[in-house]
Chain A
Amino acid sequence: MTVYANPGTPGAKVTFKPRYENWINGGWVKPVKGQYFEDISPVNGKPFAEVARGTAEDIELALDAAHRAAPAWGKTTATERAAVLNRIADVIDANKELLAVAETWDNGKPIREPLNADLPLASDHFRYFAAAIRSQDGDHAELDNDTVSYQFHEPLGVVGQIIPWNFPILMAVWKLAPALAAGNAIVMKPAEQTPVSIMVLIELIGDILPPGVLNIVNGFGLEAGKPLASSPRIRKIAFTGETTTGRLILQYASANIIPATVELGGKSANIFFSDVAQEQDSFYDKAQEGFVLFAFNQGEVCTAPSRALLQKPIYESFLGSAIERTRKAIQGNPLDTDTQVGAQASNDQLEKILSYIDIGKQEGARLALGGERVDLGGDLSGGYYVQPTIFEGNNKMRIFQEEIFGPVLAVTSFSDYEDAISIANDNLYGLGAGVWSRNGNVAYRAGRDIHAGRVWINNYHHYPAGAAFGGYKSSGIGRENNKLALGHYQQTKNLLVSYSEKPLGFF
């Protein structure tokens, strides 16, 4: 067990600056209007740093820098860009604890997660795209004896990226790595709930990238995000968030006729077939843990397995054990490596979760565990903590249909295979799902029949670089985490070449 010291206290891994400016053209730039906002730590509900409150004027400065940098960066070789990405990965690895403490303080997540997931995944992600860009070939076709079609991948130029607050560093990296690998310059707007940890990262990696290749402007969605998303000076916009803003982003993109990728969340079903409980063995233990993963990152995951579907013969026994396992989850100081459940990322998120617990009760769902805000006492008393909560109900209830983005699980039963697939697919979203069965044929068929972009079979919440991630239905457009993402940041150039001396003969 390790308890990391609070940032800025003796022995701390990180000391935040009192104020973070925007990062533009390889340096810190004050916001044009001179305004700042406070970043609040969800760990204790207290402000800990000031952050630039960027506006359209700052977005323009960042776009100026990006447009100056893009031509040269786009002409670098894949070898050179891959080397840059690998150096960034090395710096992340070398500063893992520092970044983990910063991430936990900004977001509220238990530090075991950034230490063992967010940051190792982030560095590996850069290495994956370093490899992907080096191994990416163009192609050619010999259309006839004298005519050859050559296809080249070209960067788009300057792209915009808007990042969510649930994995502030990792979600930024998911978008940065393919865009940089493909040779684009970037203007990024982090979430206003978690604006600082990414700036701590840029302090470490800023000098690895040429000035202007990566620019970060903080601020509110209305004041900084919208001017970026609607700018005619970007050639692509990428966004992770909710559906209304997703539609607005697509609307702005249509006005500028640029591509957009949007990841808009889900309401993932986690299906447990009866044969899971055939033996009380290590696999059963793994499946039980797979159920409890709804509380991973306090449920603030787009693919949180927040609908558990249990086959009727095992419903009581499996649920009973899983409730006991969830009850034992350690909720406490997020900087303690023993802590399994930390703080929700913001006060408004806390309020939203409590409002869903309320509607769940009104709809007649049975509260099987939790359901309350937690006061951890002492310095943590002002933090945003919610008990892991389990409801039993049916799939028509709002708690089964909307992404609560909290540690709230909705459980129901199913009779047979068709019933399971029907319930799983009776939802607006299709980002993730889980299937647990000892029967490989059943698991495979279920995985193919569920309308979701990622189906975990006999595991959950793994996000290895290389496995494509993205949504079906209202969960969005595009794929990340795989070399497919390069295509979202590249233009195709076709050179159609004639090697014949003969005229065409029309005129």
Chain B
Amino acid sequence: MSPAAPATSTVIASVTVPGETTPRVEFTPAAVDVLRELQTQFGPLMFHQSGGCCDGSSPMCFPAGEFITSDRDVLLGVLDIAPADEAPQPVEFWISAEQFEYWSHTFLTVDVVPGRGSGFSLEAPRGVRFLIRSRLMESFG
């Protein structure tokens, strides 16, 4: 299998929160590069935003469907990590509804940094971790 081509740009989520018109999540190019490698290894992917102790606040990446979401979760967006000329590779990004209430004023950027260990998230054995950077929604676009 040939290595995935480097991402050329940031990937911005589609709008999936009912009644909204502005995206809430994006992947940095570095994050997209890692995600394409993970997709090659594990198949379609998903994120669930964590909270709480230890590795809390980390966006956790799983094979799509591994983490069972419910009505008490909010789909923040769907991000297509496929290169421009290829079939879509959608990645859903979820957060619990109760956490969304406290996070809803912030736009989330999923970046990747060197690191070790993050729950059962797929990227950790590669020596990297996904990291959330936040900015206020008002300042976006």
Interface flag for B87 (CB, 8 Å): no
Closest to A475 in B: B52
Interface residue A6 (Cβ < 8 Å from any Cβ of B):
no
- Interfacial residues of chain B within 98-141, with CB under 8 A of chain A in the complex: 98-99, 102-103, 106, 113-122, 124-125, 129, 131-136, 139
B39 at the interface (CB under 8 A from A): no
Asked whether A402 and B54 contact (CB < 8 A) given A351-B131, A355-B133, the answer is no
**Interface presence of A161 (CB below 8 A):** no
Could you tell me the distance between the alpha carbons of A351 and B116 in the complex, rounded to whole angstroms?
12
Interface segment, one of A103-111, A244-252, A316-324, A331-339? A244-252
Judging by beta carbons under 8 Å apart, are A241 and B51 in contact? no
Q: Are A429 and B52 in contact (CB under 8 A)?
A: yes
- Expressed in whole angstroms, the minimum distance between the Cβ of A194 and any Cβ of chain B is 9
Q: How many residues of A contact B (CB 8 A)?
A: 53
Chain B residues in 8 Å Cβ range of A403: 51-53, 56-57
Q: Is the CB of A241 within 8 A of B53?
A: yes
Q: Mark A120-160, 1 if CB is under 8 A from B, else 0.
A: 00000000000000000000000000000000000000000
Counting CB contacts under 8 A, is A174 at the interface? no
Per-residue contact bits, chain B 28-71, to A (CB 8 Å; 1 contact, 0 not): 00000000000000000000111111111110101000111000
CB proximity of B122 to chain A, nearest CB, Å: 6
Partner of A347, one of B50, B99, B114: B114
Whether B53 contacts A240 by the Cβ 8 Å rule is yes
Interface 9-residue window, one of A58-66, A87-95, A209-217, A258-266: A258-266
B96 contacts A by Cβ under 8 Å: yes
Contact A265 B56, CB 8 Å, known A245-B119, A347-B114, A352-B131 = yes
Question: Which A residues lie within 8 Å of B62 (CB)?
Answer: 248
The answer on a CB contact under 8 Å between B115 and A221 is no
Residue of A nearest to B103 (CB): A398
Tell me which of A164, A193, A248, A266 has the highest count of chain B C-beta atoms within 10 A of its own C-beta: A248
Q: Quick check: is A289 within 8 A (CB to CB) of the other chain? A: no
**Interface residue A225 (Cβ < 8 Å from any Cβ of B):** yes
Q: In the bound complex, do residue B129 and residue A348 qualify as a contact, i.e. CB atoms below 8 Å apart?
A: yes
> Given A398-B134, A403-B56, A428-B98, are A222 and B115 neighbors across the interface (CB < 8 Å)?
no
Interface residue ranges of A217-262 to B (CB < 8 Å): 220-223, 225-226, 229, 240-248, 251
CB-CB nearest in chain B for A429: B52
Q: How far is the CA of A251 from the CA of B115 in the complex (A)?
A: 26
| Given A241-B53, A243-B56, A403-B52: A347 and B120 interface contact (C-beta under 8 Å) | no
Check B53 against A346 for contact (C-beta < 8 Å): no
A164 to chain B, nearest CB (A): 5
| Interface status of A385 (Cβ within 8 A of chain B) | no
Contact A166 B106 (CB under 8 A): no
Q: Check B113 against A347 for contact (C-beta < 8 Å).
A: yes
Identify 10 new A-B residue pairs, CB closer than 8 A, beyond the known A401-B103, A474-B98: A53-B125, A246-B52, A348-B114, A352-B57, A355-B134, A359-B106, A398-B103, A402-B51, A428-B99, A475-B52
Interchain residue pairs with CB less than 8 A apart (20)? A191-B54, A220-B117, A222-B122, A242-B50, A244-B50, A244-B67, A244-B119, A245-B55, A245-B60, A245-B119, A248-B66, A266-B52, A302-B54, A346-B117, A351-B115, A358-B133, A362-B134, A362-B136, A362-B139, A401-B103
B residues touching A (Cβ–Cβ < 8 Å)? 48-58, 60, 62, 66-68, 96, 98-99, 102-103, 106, 113-122, 124-125, 129, 131-136, 139
